[in-house]
């Protein structure tokens, strides 16, 4: 019997997984991988991609981005998912408040706008699938008891199985501990009862149900902030000192304990200190299911560069994070990409207390930074990069092996990487709405040259061109997950 015709074959590339690298071809039909093998053994194809000299990685699964926070959701998706495609990301985990998932943008949500997620999911999915260039899943912010009680319904009807708590926006005692700007993000204050209730309901889902936390105890942080202001500190490094390591680690200790009580898996979204890793390891030793995420910015930017929450740390701590990433203590890397839509001049006021917190354009730098600072410098292997950027995020969030894996039956999501391409970061290459990068001027070696989503080439970056080309119309899909099923059926 003659070989059936397929849509695409990729040949002559080095295919990378967490377990190794091998030279093999890939055949794709109807957006799915249908065969792996030597080129002569693959079926005939309508289109051939020659990946000679390149490494073929699974499309990056970035578990954390924040689109729609500061701009209308449709506008934010349009620009920022282009940026994701340029960076080799094919699956994006959107973390967002329910009030920001509507067609009509709400800049400062009122209490009545912060509704259970089941009330906005249909609208969100419609907007996403009309404007996104990559596939996406949702992690919802829980800020009310009503949202926590809605978890079984939104999981059953819409496949949302991951939920997040911005612990720094909790309601503190009296009127002291109110995080500035909390209301604008739709975080109107909650307490430990809301956290516990959400953990109970998430635990009831079974895998891949998981609760994510942003650990940063603002009720203590505010004291250090006031002391630093009184001391006349205005430099960027003061932002790190205002949020000492124990404010992050202490939250992890507390909520890992509650996760153990409820039987709920816990995902620490910002793991930036040795003390936090120690608490994660203690909880794991006690039988609590805990996952850790760090970011490429925590691995490449010292605390005197910019302000962000959780803060950038010092050089010594960055070295510890690289070791922990290599040794398997850290499970995942997320870009924590935020769509600010503001220039650097608009954000940077020359004073840490007045400068806007956070910086944009993180997703486009994710792969080049990790390839340059990690793989080329021998801190991690390319296989380890695939583990933390593709396989582990897909496993934790319940979309493996559909996503994050190159195997028969998996989605044909790939990023082709040239490990030797060297370019200097400039604002001309940025697709994100802000139009600038915190890594501007830095020379990086190792860049994505092509991104493929379900068999379709959505980005290519020919040698010598200053900017990646986005080739397709929006074709991203919403990815639902099924409660009680750890692996996504393929």
| pLDDT tens sequence across 292-318 | 999 999 999 999 999 999 999 999 999
Rounded to an integer, what distance in angstroms lies between the CA atom of residue 11 and that of residue 135? 25
Closest residue by Cα to residue 467 from 432, 435, 431, 434:
431
Residue 22 inside a domain? The answer is no
pLDDT computed for residue 489 by the predictor: 85
Closest residue by Cα to residue 481 from 363, 393, 387, 366:
393
Residue 435 inside a domain? The answer is no
For residue 114, give its domain range: 59-396
Residue 41 inside a domain? The answer is no
pLDDT computed for residue 189 by the predictor: 73
Residue 351 inside a domain? The answer is yes
Tokens 């002569």 belong to: 40
Tokens 């954000």 belong to: 347
Query: What does each C-alpha distance from 444 to 13, 426, 439, 440 come to in angstroms?
Result: 22, 11, 9, 10
Q: Six-digit token pair at 161? A: 């199985």
What DSSP line would sit under 143-189, residue for residue? -SHHHHHTHHHHHHHH---EEEEEGGGS--STTT---TTTGGGT---
Rounded to an integer, what distance in angstroms lies between the CA atom of residue 441 and that of residue 427? 9
> Cβ(145)–Cβ(193) under 8 Å?
yes
pLDDT computed for residue 351 by the predictor: 96
User: The domain spanning residue 288 has which CATH number?
Assistant: 3.20.20.140
Rounded to an integer, what distance in angstroms lies between the CA atom of residue 404 and that of residue 387? 9
pLDDT computed for residue 490 by the predictor: 84
Local structure of 148: helix, strand or coil: helix
Residue 278 inside a domain? The answer is yes
The pTM assigned to this predicted structure is 0.96
pLDDT digits (tens, 9 = 90+) for 179-234: 566 555 556 778 999 999 999 999 999 999 999 999 999 999 999 999 999 999 99
Residue 447 inside a domain? The answer is no
Which alpha helices (H) appear in 245-365, and where do they start and end?
245-262, 274-285, 296-300, 315-327, 344-347
Rounded to an integer, what distance in angstroms lies between the CA atom of residue 18 and that of residue 441? 31
How many domains does the chain divide into?
A: 1
pLDDT computed for residue 1 by the predictor: 37
The pLDDT averaged over each successive group of 10 residues in the chain (490 residues) is 82 97 97 96 96 98 96 97 98 97 93 96 98 98 96 98 94 57 65 96 98 96 96 98 98 98 98 98 98 98 97 98 98 96 93 93 96 98 98 98 98 98 97 96 98 98 96 95 90
Residue 439 inside a domain? The answer is no
Phi and psi at 135, nearest 5°, equal: -75, 150
pLDDT computed for residue 183 by the predictor: 58
pLDDT computed for residue 486 by the predictor: 85
Closest residue by Cα to residue 414 from 3, 9, 77:
9
Residue 17 inside a domain? The answer is no
pLDDT computed for residue 89 by the predictor: 98
């Amino acid at each position: 019997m003659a070989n059936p015709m397929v849509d695409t074959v990729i040949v002559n590339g080095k295919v990378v997984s967490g377990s190794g690298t091998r030279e093999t071809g890939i055949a794709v039909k109807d957006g799915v991988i249908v065969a792996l093998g030597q080129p002569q053994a693959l079926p005939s194809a309508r289109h051939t991609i020659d990946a000679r000299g390149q490494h073929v990685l699974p499309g990056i699964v970035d578990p954390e981005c924040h689109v729609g926070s500061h701009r209308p959701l449709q506008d934010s998706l349009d620009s920022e998912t282009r940026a994701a495609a340029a960076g080799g990301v094919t699956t994006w985990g959107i973390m967002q408040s329910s009030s920001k998932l509507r067609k009509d943008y709400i800049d400062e949500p009122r209490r009545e706008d912060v509704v259970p997620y089941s009330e906005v999911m249909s609208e969100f999915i419609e907007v996403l699938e009309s404007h996104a260039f990559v596939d996406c899943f949702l992690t919802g912010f829980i800020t009310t008891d009503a949202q926590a009680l809605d978890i079984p319904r939104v999981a059953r009807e819409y496949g949302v199985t991951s939920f997040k708590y911005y612990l720094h926006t909790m309601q503190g005692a009296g009127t002291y501990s109110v995080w500035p700007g909390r209301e604008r993000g739709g975080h109107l204050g909650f307490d430990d009862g809301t956290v516990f209730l959400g953990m109970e309901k998430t635990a009831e889902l079974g895998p891949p149900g998981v609760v994510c936390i942003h650990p940063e105890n603002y009720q203590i942080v505010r004291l250090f902030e006031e002391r630093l202001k009184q001391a006349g500190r205005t430099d960027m490094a003061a932002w790190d000192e205002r949020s000492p390591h124990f404010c992050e680690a202490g939250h992890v200790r507390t909520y890992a304990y509650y996760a153990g009580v409820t039987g709920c898996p816990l995902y620490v979204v910002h793991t930036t200190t040795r003390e936090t890793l120690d608490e994660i390891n203690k909880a794991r030793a006690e039988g609590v299911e805990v996952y850790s995420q760090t970011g490429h910015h925590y691995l490449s930017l010292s605390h005197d560069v910019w302000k962000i929450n959780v803060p950038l740390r010092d050089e010594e701590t960055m070295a510890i994070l690289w070791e922990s990433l290599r040794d398997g203590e850290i499970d995942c890397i997320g870009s924590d990409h935020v769509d600010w839509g503001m220039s650097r001049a608009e954000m940077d006021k020359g004073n840490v207390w007045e400068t806007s917190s956070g910086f944009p354009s993180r997703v486009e730098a994710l792969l080049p930074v990790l390839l340059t600072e990690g793989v080329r410098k021998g801190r991690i292997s390319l296989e380890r990069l695939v583990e933390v950027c593709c396989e582990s995020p897909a496993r934790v969030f319940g979309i493996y092996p559909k996503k994050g894996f190159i195997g028969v039956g998996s989605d044909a999501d790939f990023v082709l990487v040239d490990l030797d391409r060297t370019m200097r970061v400039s604002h001309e290459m940025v697709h994100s709405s802000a139009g600038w990068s915190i890594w501007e001027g830095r020379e990086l070696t190792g860049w994505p040259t092509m991104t493929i989503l379900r068999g379709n080439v959505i980005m290519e970056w020919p040698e010598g061109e200053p900017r990646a080309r986005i080739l397709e119309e929006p074709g991203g899909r919403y990815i639902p997950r099924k409660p009680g099923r750890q692996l996504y059926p393929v």
